[in-house]
Amino acid sequence: MLPPYIIETAKVPSSDEEKIGPLFKKHVFSKGHFLIREGTICKTLFFIDTGLVRIYRTTDDGNEVTAFFMVEHSFVTAFDSFYKSTPTKYNFVLLEDSVIYSLQQSDLETMIDKSHALTKFIFHTTYELAARLTELLANVKFRTAEERYRNLLRDSPSIFQRVQLSYIASYLGITPETLSRMRAKK
């Protein structure tokens, strides 16, 4: 079954929906569920209908470093694994109860062949992800911690109500104490 958001946003014709819908599987997961675990090979593309995913990596000294937060209406997968069929270095854990749709890698080609509307939608979604990655790189390389904080607050204010501050601090590359000081200055 195709997620309603995708049907509406991609303007998927009902004939495509009938052909492609069965390729998508709907799941309801509880907070704390791992979509993907470090060391596994990921062959699934996920769509977050509702909920929030934290993507993080564990360093050699055992610290968790948050790479991304993905919110509803986003596709997510372990790209380092999905494309090359190698074990991923990342964990994907749900921070909220979530409704997630999954599409197997083997069905992605079928979907692309059978639905121009969905292919176009995924193409545009990939551009959006590339833009987010470019922004993340700019944040890490060229912006101060204060600028990274302000940008996150401007672009994703709900993250501050939905995610524990230690994860946000990790994402920003600062300590929780530094984040607390920045928040107090508001």
- How confident is the model at residue 135, as a pLDDT? 84
Cα distances from 158 to residues 55, 72, 131, in angstroms, run 17, 12, 20
| Low-confidence winner among 25-39, 77-91, 105-119, 148-162 (lowest mean pLDDT) | 105-119
Q: Is 82 left (phi over 0), alpha (psi -120 to 50) or beta?
A: alpha
Cα distances from 67 to residues 3, 16, 72, 103, 169, in angstroms, run 26, 35, 17, 23, 11
- How confident is the model at residue 22, as a pLDDT? 93
d(CA 28, CA 39): 24
Q: Are 130 and 140 in contact (CB under 8 A)?
A: no
- Exposed, middle or buried: residue 84 (CB in 10 Å: 0-12, 13-18, 19+)? exposed
Q: Are 5 and 73 in contact (CB under 8 A)?
A: yes
**Helices marked H in 96-157:** 105-114, 116-142, 145-155
- How confident is the model at residue 186, as a pLDDT? 66
**Which token pair is 173?**
């590359």
- How confident is the model at residue 30, as a pLDDT? 98
Query: Which whole number is the average pLDDT over 117-124?
Result: 86
Query: Which whole number is the average pLDDT over 93-106?
Result: 96
Indicate if the alpha-carbon torsion angle 150, 156, 161, 163 is positive or negative.
negative
**pLDDT level of residue 114 (50, 70, 90 thresholds):** confident
- How confident is the model at residue 107, as a pLDDT? 92
d(CA 46, CA 44): 6
- How confident is the model at residue 136, as a pLDDT? 80
Query: Which whole number is the average pLDDT over 125-135?
Result: 85
- How confident is the model at residue 131, as a pLDDT? 87
**pLDDT level of residue 72 (50, 70, 90 thresholds):** very high
Residue 91 pLDDT greater than 70, yes or no: yes
Q: Are 17 and 52 in contact (CB under 8 A)?
A: no
